[in-house]
């Protein structure tokens, strides 16, 4: 009896500790978001003062510093943050949908389709607006193709969806390689930057940020049902979850988030795969905490990585996708080694 | 027969179930009253799991009817059926880590609103269920560190947390040692004695004989025998159903079935 009592007290405090810890992690991520934006807005070839930052953000008039912050650095920082958040949120959703820790936002061929669209537009010599349009159309095309093929007979298995996505992605990869080999010398660099992910051309970041907020608000009411879906279809259905509807929602939402992200900054890798795992190692796999935390962490990572990409070897700009891999992989391996689960 | 104003826990009316083109059962009729324990027996591939999932409302009923507490599944408000019947599914691999307590709390899902979080009462229910399954000191452990038998007991604990009226158990004794087999079966017998209905798939004929009030024997070709345990469990019927000769050995008040 005494033993049971002790175990009960310990466990009671443990679930509170988990939530308190998650609260601390979320608060820390909010602070990290502020820090990432402060760094991103102040770093660069033109030094700016704290007063310039305040003036730029509060909408006041100022000199060239204020114009640069408001016209160049802020849109770019917002685009990077929003797309990092979109990719991390989409990655967390896809990992639950496919019940596969190796799933990422691109596993179902979305980035492949976007790349075919975008590179096709670059190859045709289109203006940047048409490159974005090409990427978005390509992403949605791949999504619908995979969905249609995997649902040929109305059944839904994760394996079938995954395999269809992998094959469509492989086909897109071949098309991309073909376009790269056919492209004239002058356009290859632009194509490679698009493929690796690059936020320098992101001048219209607000749709991505708006979608990030809407996407998170749409996913949160279903977070506890997602916890059950992660435990398997039979378990989820026997506890009253409408699995078919939930999967459709997650698939559609994850695809849309990813399509907007790749349209805005190209196919930045690793954020959507690694950030959800990183957050899981810190606060566990309760989607009610994981989804907002992963969204913030993805935003912080991409915003910081983009700032580093344009300042580390300035005036040369690196593709941000290279930086996310260089930062993400060692951090992830370190955390994995520390938490042997 | 005692008159009861409440409808039976489960009523099955002329139910036919198929897997692919093969019949699991044809025109199956039975009711599970509070206090009943129905054990489903049959060889591998006879369709026991399919039938159990049909009884749980997870598969469409093509012919016949399944009534949970008097109504078809479709007539219950969405999600409410999970407060009335719980399913212990065959174990599935876990791809993501979780603590034992978190896993047990899953059973509270049907009782929580969309924005609710599990509160102290939910935790108390979960900890009590873990204690029932001898897992009280495991609450903070990560599930992947548990043994197969411990995971099975955790799955049963999560089902107990759900507190349904009807328990549908698919091989509840999988991975359990002898002591825990008896503990689990005793616990469900107690739940039945307090008014629950229990339907379970078992492979151990002698445990079925000891705990079942009724037995459904599937022959694997669409035929079935159902009735009070003592009537259905004969060496002749069991031998035919399992395709292996069995012999009845009388030991005091109980009859044991041993393969020849």
Directed axis angle between helix A320-338 and helix A185-196, to 10°? 30
In the predicted structure, residue A165 carries a pLDDT above the cut 70: yes
Closest CB from A4, A224, A230 relative to B109: A224
Residue A309 token pair: 């990409």
**What is the model's pLDDT at position A190?**
84
The position carrying tokens 């000191």 is B137
pLDDT attached to residue A14:
66
Q: b/e per residue, A140-160, with b = 16+ CB within 10 A?
A: bbbbebbbeebeeeeeeeeee
Nearest-by-Cβ selection for B106 from A228, A284, A285: A228
Facing residue for A285 by CB, picked from B97, B118, B139: B97
Confidence at residue B85, expressed as pLDDT on a 0 to 100 scale: 97
Closest CA to A168 of A139, A127, A130, A209: A139
Give the gap in angstroms from C-alpha B256 to the nearest C-alpha of chain A: 35
Q: SS3 breakdown of chain A: % helix, strand, coil, rounded to 5?
A: 80, 0, 20
**Chain B interface, best mutation among A8, A11, A12, by max B CB count within 10 A:** A11
d(CA B85, CA B79): 11
Tokens of B1: 């027969």
Extents of the domains making up chain B: 10-259
Q: In what order do the strands lie in the sheet with B10-19?
A: B22-32, B10-19, B63-68, B71-72
Give me the pLDDT at residue B57, please. Answer: 96
Which run of H or E residues covers position A223? Answer: helix A223-230
Distance from CA of A237 to the nearest CA of B (A): 7
What is the chain A residue with the closest CA to B79?
Answer: A240
Q: Please, which pLDDT band fits residue A9 given cuts at 50, 70 and 90?
A: very low
Beta bridge partners of B99: B142
Residue A7, pLDDT > 50, answer: no
**8 Å CB contact between B161 and B129:** yes
Tokens of B75: 């007539």
Of B81, B95, B131, the CB nearest to A240: B81
Chain B residues near residue A15 by CB distance under 8 angstroms: 101-102, 118, 123
Tokens standing for residue B135? 């897992």
pLDDT > 90? residue A333: no
A324: which residues sit within 8 A by CB, 6+ positions away? Answer: A197, A268, A269, A270, A271, A301, A302, A305
Q: Which residues of B touch A101 (CB under 8 A)?
A: 95-96
Q: Are A291 and A216 a contacting pair, CB within 8 Å?
A: yes
From chain A, the residues in CB contact with B162 under 8 A are: 239
Nearest to A139 by CA among A253, A272, A255, A247: A255
| Tokens 């010398």, located at residue | A185
| Among the listed residues A19, A225, A249, the one whose alpha carbon sits nearest the alpha carbon of residue B114 | A225
Q: With the CA atoms of A73, A74, A75 and A77 taken in that order, what torsion angle do they form, in degrees rounded to the nearest 10?
A: 80
Name the token pair of B30: 């039975």
pLDDT class of A326 with cuts at 50, 70, 90: confident
Task: Quote the CATH superfamily of domain B10-259.
Answer: P-loop containing nucleotide triphosphate hydrolases (3.40.50.300)
Residue pointed to by tokens 């690694």:
A274
- pLDDT 10s digits, A110-156: 999 999 999 999 998 888 788 889 999 999 999 889 888 887 555 56
Q: Residue A75 and residue A40: Cα distance in Å, rounded? A: 11
What pLDDT, on the 0 to 100 scale, is given for residue A194? 85
Question: A341: which chain B residues are within 8 Å (Cβ-Cβ)?
Answer: 97, 142, 144
pLDDT at A196: 83
DSSP notation for chain B: ----SSPPSEEEEEEEEEETTEEEEEEEEEEE-TT-EEEEE--TTSSHHHHHHHHTT-S---EEEEEETTEEGGGSPTTTHHHHEEEEPPP---SS--BHHHHHHGGGGGGS-TT----HHHHHHHHHHHHHTT-GGGTTSBGGGS-HHHHHHHHHHHHHHH--SEEEEESTTTT--HHHHHHHHHHHHHHHHTT-EEEEE-S-HHHHHHH-SEEEEE-SSS-EEEEEHHHH--HHHHHHHHTS-EEEEEETTEEEEEE-
The CA-based dihedral angle spanning residues A197, A199, A201, A204, taken in that order and rounded to the nearest 10 degrees:
120
Q: What CATH number was assigned to the domain covering residues A76-338?
A: 1.10.3470.10
- Interacting residues of A131 by C-beta distance below 8 A, sequence separation 6+: A118, A121, A122, A194
Confidence band for A291, pLDDT divided at 50, 70 and 90:
very high
Find tokens 């607006």 and name the residue: A129
- Please list the residues that pair with B167 across neighbouring strands: B86, B198
CB contact under 8 A, B92 and A3: no
> Which residues in B have their CB inside 8 Å of a CB on A?
53, 56, 58, 78-82, 86-87, 89, 92, 94-99, 101-103, 106-107, 109-110, 112, 114-115, 117-118, 120, 123-124, 127, 131, 136-137, 139-140, 142, 144, 162
Indicate yes or no: CB of A224 within 8 angstroms of CB of B112.
yes
Q: Does A186 touch chain B (CB under 8 A)?
A: no
Contact between B97 and A341 using a beta-carbon 8 Å cutoff: yes
Q: What pLDDT, on the 0 to 100 scale, is given for residue A10?
A: 44
Q: Are the C-beta atoms of residues B246 and B235 closer than 8 Å to each other?
A: yes
- Inter-chain contact B87–A7, Cβ cutoff 8 Å? no
Using CA coordinates, name the residue in chain B closest to A277.
B96
Among the residue ranges A1-10, A126-135, A234-243, the one predicted with the least confidence is A1-10
Euclidean distance between the first and the last CA atom of chain A, given in angstroms as a whole number: 31
Confidence class for position A159, pLDDT limits 50, 70, 90: confident
Three-state secondary structure call for residue A62: coil
Q: Would the CB atoms of B53 and A10 count as touching at under 8 Å? A: no
pLDDT, tens digit (0-9, with 9 covering 90-100), for B60-97: 999 999 999 999 999 999 889 999 999 999 977 777 88
Q: Both tokens of residue B62?
A: 């093509």
- Which is higher by pLDDT, A165 or B4? A165
- Which pLDDT does position B4 carry in this prediction? 56
Give the pair of three-digit tokens for residue A150.
């995997």
pLDDT in tens, A68-103: 888 889 999 999 999 999 999 999 999 999 888 888
Report the distance separating Cα B176 and Cα B180, nearest Å. Answer: 6
Question: Tell me, what's the pLDDT at A13?
Answer: 52
Cβ atoms of A161 and A108 closer than 8 Å: yes
Parts of chain B with a pLDDT under 70: 1-5
Name which residue leads in pLDDT, A266 or B195.
B195
pLDDT band at A269 (very low <50, low <70, confident <90, very high): confident
In degrees to the nearest 10, what's the CA dihedral of A203, A206, A209, A213? -170
């Amino acid at each position: 009896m005494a033993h049971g009592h002790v175990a009960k007290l310990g466990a009671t405090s443990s679930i509170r500790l988990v939530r308190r810890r998650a609260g601390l992690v979320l608060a820390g991520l909010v602070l990290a978001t502020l820090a990432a934006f402060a760094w991103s807005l102040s770093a660069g070839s033109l030094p700016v003062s704290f007063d310039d930052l305040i003036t730029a953000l509060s909408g006041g008039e100022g000199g060239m510093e204020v114009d640069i912050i408001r016209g160049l650095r802020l849109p770019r920082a917002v685009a990077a943050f929003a797309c990092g958040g979109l990719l991390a949120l989409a990655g967390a959703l896809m990992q639950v949908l496919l019940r596969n820790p190796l799933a990422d936002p691109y596993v179902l061929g979305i980035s492949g389709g976007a790349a075919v669209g975008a590179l096709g537009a670059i190859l045709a010599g289109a203006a940047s607006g048409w490159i974005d349009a090409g990427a978005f159309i390509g992403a949605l095309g791949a999504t619908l193709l995979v969905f249609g093929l995997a649902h040929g007979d109305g059944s839904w298995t994760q394996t079938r969806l995954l395999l269809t996505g992998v094959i469509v992605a492989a086909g897109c990869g071949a098309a991309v390689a073909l376009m790269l080999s056919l492209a004239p010398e002058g356009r290859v660099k632009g194509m490679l930057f698009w493929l690796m992910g690059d936020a320098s051309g992101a001048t219209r970041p607000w749709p991505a940020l708006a979608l990030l907020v809407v996407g998170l608000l749409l996913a949160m009411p279903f977070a506890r049902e997602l916890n059950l879906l992660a435990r398997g279809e039979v378990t989820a259905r026997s506890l009253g979850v409408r699995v078919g509807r939930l999967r459709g929602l997650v698939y559609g939402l994850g695809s849309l988030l990813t399509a907007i992200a790749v349209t805005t900054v190209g196919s930045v890798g690793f954020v959507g795969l690694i950030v959800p795992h990183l957050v899981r190692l810190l606060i566990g796999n309760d989607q009610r905490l994981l989804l907002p935390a992963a969204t913030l962490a993805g935003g912080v990572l991409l915003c910081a990585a983009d700032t580093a990409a344009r300042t580390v070897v300035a005036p040369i700009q690196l593709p941000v996708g290279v930086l996310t891999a260089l930062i993400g992989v060692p951090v992830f391996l370190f955390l994995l080694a520390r938490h042997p689960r | 027969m005692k008159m009861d104003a409440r409808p039976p826990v489960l009523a099955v009316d002329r139910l036919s179930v198929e897997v692919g083109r093969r019949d699991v059962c044809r025109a199956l009729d039975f009711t599970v009253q509070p206090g009943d324990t129905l054990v489903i027996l049959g060889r591998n591939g006879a369709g026991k799991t399919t039938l159990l999932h049909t009884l749980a409302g997870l598969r469409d009923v093509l012919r016949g009817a399944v009534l949970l507490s008097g109504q078809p599944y479709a007539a219950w408000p969405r999600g409410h059926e999970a407060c009335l019947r719980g399913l212990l599914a065959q174990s599935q691999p876990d791809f993501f880590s979780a603590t034992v307590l978190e896993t047990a709390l899953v059973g509270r899902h049907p009782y929580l609103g969309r924005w609710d979080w599990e509160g102290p009462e939910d935790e108390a229910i979960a900890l009590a269920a873990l204690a029932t399954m001898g897992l009280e000191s495991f609450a903070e452990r990560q599930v992947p560190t548990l043994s197969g038998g411990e995971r099975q007991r955790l799955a049963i604990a999560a089902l107990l947390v759900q507190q349904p009226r009807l328990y549908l158990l698919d091989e509840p004794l999988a991975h359990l040692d002898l002591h825990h087999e008896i503990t689990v079966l005793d616990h469900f017998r107690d739940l039945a004695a307090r008014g629950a209905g229990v339907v379970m798939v078992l492979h151990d004929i002698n445990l079925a004989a000891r705990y079942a009030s009724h037995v459904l024997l599937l022959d694997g070709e669409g035929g079935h025998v159902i009735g009070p345990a003592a009537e259905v469990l004969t060496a002749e019927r069991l031998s035919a159903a399992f395709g292996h000769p069995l012999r009845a050995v009388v030991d005091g008040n109980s009859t044991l079935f041993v393969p020849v």
